[in-house]
Amino acid sequence: MFPAIESLAMTFPTLLADKNADFWFPIQGSSFAEEVDWVYDLILYISLAFFVPMMVFMVWCLFKYIKARGTKAESQLSHHTTLELTWSIGPSVLLVWMFVQGSISFLDMRSPPEGSYDIGLQAFKWGWTMDYGNGTFHPELHIVKDEPTKLSMRSTDVIHSVFIPAFRVKKDVVPGRYNYMWFQPTIASEQISDEQLAKLKKQNEGTAWDYDKVHTIETEDGEKEVQVTPEGYTFFDLYCAEYCGTNHSEMQTVVVVHETQADLDAWIKANSSRGEVSMEEWGELLYGRRGCSGCHSVDGSKLVGPSFKDVYGSQHGLTTGENQLVDENYVRESILAPKAKVVAGYQPVMPSYKGQLSDDDIASIIAYLKSISANASSQPAAAEAEPEAESAE
Amino acid sequence: MSNATLPAGARDPGYPTERENYLTNSSGILSWVFTLDHKRIGMMYLIGVVSAFAIGGLLALAIRLHLLKPDGLLFTGAEGNNIYNQVFTLHGAIMVFLFIIPSIPAALGNFLVPVMLGAKDVGFPRLNLSSFYLWVFGALFFVSALFSSGLDTGWTFYTPYSTTTDTSVILATLGAFILGFSSIFTGLNFIVTINTMRPPGMTWFKMPLFLWATYATSIIQVLATPVLGITLLLLIAERTMHIGIFDPEFNGDPVTYQHFFWFYSHPAVYIMILPAFGIISELISVHSHKHIFGYRFIAYSSIAIALLGFLVWGHHMFTAGMSSLTTIVFSALTFTVSVPSAIKVFNWLATMYKGSISLTTPMCYAISFIFLFTIGGLTGLFLGTLATDLHLHDTYFVVAHFHYVMVGGTLIAFLGGVFHWWPKMVGKLYNETHGRIASLLVFLGFNGTFLPQFVLGSRGMPRRYATYDPEFAFLHQLSTFGALLLGVGLLYAFIVLMVSLAKGRRAPANPWGGVTLEWQCTSPPPYYNFERPPVVGDPYDFHNLEWDAENERYVMTEPERKLVPESTPDEVPAHAGGQK
């Protein structure tokens, strides 16, 4: 009868969001999710049980008692103590129930079990670094299904907040103290096949990997829509939920849940060191992974920090008024002690990466910077370079 | 004026003469600038807060338009995110500090408190005028912050972001500091006025509920605002001298700031909503022509909310890392404050039952208020409950919840109050049909804007995001279309009032049939409010009210005289010594 409305109703759930979610909630990805959703539904139904009759009563009064102006009211009853006490005390009982249910679930969420898998989390403007131990750092959070996982969280600058909607957890990351959070994932991420991933990579060649992009892949059961990491894993979103400035809304990363510990170990091993790849390539990977790309562009545009395009071998004007040649030493210093020599026109906001990047990592980043700089080849040795008039922004 | 159809014994003050009318009894711009008349100060506040609301509202529309597209529509380019952050910060700061907090107490309260009380003015008229100029001064600081280097901290000024950002935090916090004084002066004035200037017969339990609400609000203003002032000064000291209170870089603790800030700002939520409760109590009773149901419960619940409101600030910080015990205690306290609010709603519904309801424009706003505030209150339960708050905190669910309380509550009550007392304030009637249409548009637009946001938040959309994941796009678009409709509705309501100034019919003293004292003086009131001391009775006793159809107004008839055995009243007003 109304095809437009019907088709809208049909597509409504898909328009709303990811296919795995229902109307109100994201997918239930952790052991907490079911409990939290249960408490949510409890409150929702109690609220509706009050709201609907109250509004029906109000509208009924409107229809029943609308009178011509000047008509006297039927009653001038001014109070009824029993009735008033009833509706004061009655709902209070329900409130106590809500409070108790909410607090019980909350206490579960507060105490990490002994022997939880511990991952360090560092939040900074505007990105995340997970510390898997042994010098392995990665912006994505990789964990194991059914394994209680504890995050030990710290911030290098302002307050951030870790929010994983699928797990129903949230905790602020406050500078100057450690905050902890734990959860137990119940759904493992899927990994698309290598051929499919290769196909997607080919389609997206030349652009940065877009986690949010929905890809259509072919499976045995037909077509399927997925969002995947560059390694082909499906994932859960992890947001920053505490306002933290310019790129707050882009401070997102993903949670990948591995089926087994062995799977995760293999992933950690693969990401722990450079291995066989070239230094330039490794540097480029680190540029994307370790939060550099959030503040430093490679196409010359001005972000929070100076662009990396053609930066190596160029001259920076510093806030002190001096000029500084961008060479190996300056790059290394800027990574380890970023506030020592700040480029004019920028704020000293970069966190130090001391202890987080190995010498090989830093050398790889330098190699990468050289590879994308037109000035690099013309600057064989830093000491011999003449100061140039132009300075980077 | 014909008295032919009037019942016997009717008394009506009629219409004011030019000389008596507070708007015209003196003229010239200086007679307004230096006025000590609470009614004129109220009107100046009204113009001020409505202007602030217009700016804050336009910023809100900019936010919603920007969020039409996941990558942002309005503010694009390298500075896009920064501009968006400044826009939502200014929207919040202007709406909270310049509009919602002063709107009802300072604009309507200034006009109404002395008149409803039966007094000639507030206790300290000069302090009253100075509070208005402090408001203007504070507002100028905000505007200068906007034009210097903006403000991007969010209206809460959370440290250490606010101590490190390079925007105009100091100008804006000084503005808020000054506005705090304005708020304290207003509150102080009302407390003194209500305590000492009640005329004979106006006992505490003969006061209209709007006065109870104002009194409770004033207590919060006087007690809580100094904490905000001190906090903001500490923030400025931290920024300029790095004294190490809030910034971890200098061994401070950022969560301390949150405790200080919410110790003011949570009670401040009740500065915003309690006066609205007062207005709704008046509106429902007058337009149902029925005695308010449960007068004492409503009055006591205002005081209860004012006191309990001081104990629940920690519920803004459930995710900040307080101890489990603290968190649970704050959650429990939060639930206690919801009981008195619920009591009020039940009482309003009971007042409508068996009444004689006129669906006037103010009544339309009053029933929208009950609908919207009930949603706002019930959704608060999801946030007071610990397990669900962890998921919903800092998402759009919170945005929707507090807009249902602050906009659906305070703004709607403010509009209802303005439409209710407009004939009294300016002496003109507006077009009822257009007034009702505007209220319907506001209601529909408001729900269109904020209902989708509950779903957005439940699904995990964080707030204060300049860009968002594409899966949230549909709900954001719904919300934006709702906001546009809301904007049209508010503009419509404004036009209805402005047209009434030019073309409206002359208002009688009592167009709605109210029994409180302000309806017993002319519209607009004379300079000193009452020609002779008003007769004080039960403010919700509608027995002696008669409809004068010929002149389309209500008149009071002489009350039935009863012999009172003793000359001492039950309750002696405080100014008479308070002793029996």
By the 10 Å C-beta count (0-12 exposed, 13-18 middle, 19+ buried), B562 is classed as: exposed
User: Is residue B210's pLDDT more than 90?
Assistant: yes
**pLDDT by residue (tens digit) across B434-476?**
999 999 999 999 999 999 999 999 999 999 999 998 889 999 9
User: Is residue B158's pLDDT more than 80?
Assistant: yes
Shortest Cα–Cα distance, A7 to chain B (Å):
15
Selecting from B319, B353, B543 the residue whose C-beta is nearest the C-beta of A61 gives: B353
Q: Are B106 and B45 in contact (CB under 8 A)?
A: yes
By the 10 Å C-beta count (0-12 exposed, 13-18 middle, 19+ buried), B251 is classed as: exposed
Alpha-carbon distance B2 to A356, whole Å?
91
Alpha-carbon distance B217 to B307, whole Å?
10
Selecting from B255, B387, B460 the residue whose C-beta is nearest the C-beta of A174 gives: B255
What tokens does A307 get?
A: 């662009």
**pLDDT by residue (tens digit) across B116-149?**
999 989 999 999 999 999 999 999 998 888 788 8
Average model confidence (pLDDT) across chain B: 90
CA distances from A291 to A139, A212, B2, B533 (A): 8, 18, 82, 74
Query: Is A72's CB within 8 Å of B356's CB?
Result: yes
Please tell me whether residue B528 adopts helix, strand or coil conformation.
coil
Query: Is A36's CB within 8 Å of B386's CB?
Result: no
What tokens does A101 get?
A: 């249910």
What tokens does B442 get?
A: 């506001």
Query: Is A241's CB within 8 Å of B462's CB?
Result: yes
Alpha-carbon distance B272 to B406, whole Å?
7
User: Is residue B10's pLDDT more than 90?
Assistant: no
Query: Is A92's CB within 8 Å of B339's CB?
Result: yes
pLDDT of residue B8: 65
Alpha-carbon distance B520 to A219, whole Å?
79
Q: Are B314 and B271 in contact (CB under 8 A)?
A: no
Test mutation, A108, A157, A242, chain B, max B CBs within 10 A: A242
Q: Tell me how crowded residue A318 is: count the other CB atoms within 10 A of its CB.
A: 16
Residues of B in contact with A78 (CB under 8 A): 291-295, 540
For chain A, percent helix, then strand, then coil, each to nearest 5? Answer: 35, 20, 40
Alpha-carbon distance B478 to B481, whole Å?
5
pLDDT of residue A13: 45
Query: Is B161's CB within 8 Å of A158's CB?
Result: yes
User: Is residue B91's pLDDT more than 60?
Assistant: yes
Query: Is B345's CB within 8 Å of A243's CB?
Result: no
Alpha-carbon distance B43 to B522, whole Å?
17
Query: Is A159's CB within 8 Å of B160's CB?
Result: yes
pLDDT of residue B249: 85
Alpha-carbon distance B554 to B11, whole Å?
10
Residues of B in contact with A91 (CB under 8 A): 339, 342
Residues of B in contact with A97 (CB under 8 A): none
Query: Is B459's CB within 8 Å of A237's CB?
Result: no
Mean pLDDT, residues B398-402 taken together = 95
Exposure on the CB side of residue A268, measured as CA atoms within 13 A: 21
The CA-based angle A273-A278-A284, given to 5 degrees, is: 80
Query: Is A98's CB within 8 Å of B335's CB?
Result: yes
Which residues in A265-301 are b (16+ Cβ under 10 Å) and which e? Answer: eebbeebbebeeeebbebbbbbbebbbbbbbbbbeee
Alpha-carbon distance B492 to B437, whole Å?
9
What tokens does B548 get?
A: 């004068």
Confidence of residue B567 (pLDDT cuts 50, 70, 90): low
Shortest Cα–Cα distance, B448 to chain A (Å):
16
Beta-carbon pairs below 8 A across chains A and B:
293
pLDDT of residue A4: 46
Tens digit of pLDDT at every position of chain A (393 positions): 444 444 444 444 444 445 556 778 888 999 999 999 999 999 999 999 999 999 999 999 999 999 988 888 888 888 889 999 999 898 999 999 999 999 998 988 888 888 889 999 999 888 898 998 877 888 899 999 999 999 999 998 899 999 999 999 999 999 988 999 999 999 999 888 888 888 888 887 777 778 888 888 777 777 778 888 888 899 999 999 999 988 899 899 999 999 999 999 998 888 877 777 788 888 888 887 777 887 888 888 877 788 888 888 888 888 888 888 888 888 888 888 888 888 888 888 787 887 778 888 888 888 888 888 887 765 444 444 444 444 443
**pLDDT by residue (tens digit) across B476-525?**
999 999 999 999 999 999 999 999 999 999 999 899 999 999 998 888 99
Query: Is A40's CB within 8 Å of B388's CB?
Result: yes
Alpha-carbon distance B393 to B456, whole Å?
12
Tally helices (H) and strands (E) across chain A.
9, 14
User: Is residue B559's pLDDT more than 80?
Assistant: no
Please tell me whether residue B545 adopts helix, strand or coil conformation.
strand
The CA-based angle B201-B204-B206, given to 5 degrees, is: 55
Strands A117-124 and A149-155: parallel
Q: Which residue of A has its CA nearest to B72?
A: A249
Alpha-carbon distance B410 to B416, whole Å?
10
**Which chain B residues in 28-57 lie under 8 Å from chain A, judged by CB atoms?**
none
Confidence of residue B562 (pLDDT cuts 50, 70, 90): low
Query: Is A109's CB within 8 Å of B355's CB?
Result: no
Q: Are B518 and B112 in contact (CB under 8 A)?
A: yes
* Residues in Cβ contact with B504 at an 8 Å cutoff, skipping those fewer than 6 apart: B428, B429, B430, B431
The ipTM (two decimal places) reads: 0.90
Q: Which residue of B has its CA nearest to A297?
A: B78
pLDDT of residue A20: 56
Query: Is B355's CB within 8 Å of A74's CB?
Result: yes
Alpha-carbon distance B470 to A225, whole Å?
14
Residues of B in contact with A351 (CB under 8 A): none
Confidence of residue B115 (pLDDT cuts 50, 70, 90): very high
Partner A contacted by B7 (CB < 8 A) = no
Test mutation, A76, A97, A179, chain B, max B CBs within 10 A: A76
Q: Order of strands across the sheet with A169-173?
A: A141-144, A252-258, A236-240, A160-164, A169-173
* Residues in Cβ contact with B286 at an 8 Å cutoff, skipping those fewer than 6 apart: B420, B512, B513, B514, B515, B516
Work out the end-to-end distance of chain B between its first and last CA atoms, rounded to an integer number of angstroms: 45
CA distances from B140 to B162, B174, B178 (A): 20, 10, 10
Q: Which residue of A has its CA nearest to B550?
A: A70
Shortest Cα–Cα distance, A154 to chain B (Å):
12
Test mutation, A25, A28, A43, A160, chain B, max B CBs within 10 A: A43
CA torsion through residues A343, A349, A355, A356, sign? negative
pLDDT of residue B569: 58
pLDDT of residue B574: 61
Residues of A in contact with B248 (CB under 8 A): 174-177
pLDDT of residue A203: 81
pLDDT of residue B575: 64
Selecting from A51, A77, A109 the residue whose C-beta is nearest the C-beta of B293 gives: A77
Partner A contacted by B85 (CB < 8 A) = yes
Test mutation, A248, A297, A346, chain B, max B CBs within 10 A: A248
Q: Are B38 and B110 in contact (CB under 8 A)?
A: yes
DSSP string, A287-300: HHHSSHHHH--SSS
Partner A contacted by B447 (CB < 8 A) = no
**pLDDT by residue (tens digit) across B76-85?**
887 888 999 9
Q: Which residue of B has its CA nearest to A214?
A: B470
pLDDT of residue A393: 39
Exposure on the CB side of residue A276, measured as CA atoms within 13 A: 1
Q: Are A258 and A144 in contact (CB under 8 A)?
A: yes
Query: Is A50's CB within 8 Å of B378's CB?
Result: yes
DSSP string, A44-74: HHHHHHHHHHHHHHHHHHHHHHB--TTPPPS
Shortest Cα–Cα distance, B568 to chain A (Å):
25
Tally helices (H) and strands (E) across chain B.
18, 3
Q: Are A279 and A368 in contact (CB under 8 A)?
A: yes
Point out the least confidently predicted range of A166-170, B24-28, B95-99: B24-28
pLDDT of residue A37: 92
CA distances from B311 to B336, B337, B383 (A): 10, 9, 16
Exposure on the CB side of residue B158, measured as CA atoms within 13 A: 18
Residues of A in contact with B294 (CB under 8 A): 78-80, 84
Test mutation, B79, B454, B465, chain A, max A CBs within 10 A: B465
> At A131, which helix (H) or strand (E)?
strand A127-131
Residues of A in contact with B353 (CB under 8 A): 57, 61, 65, 75
What's the CATH superfamily of B29-556? Cytochrome c oxidase-like, subunit I domain (1.20.210.10)
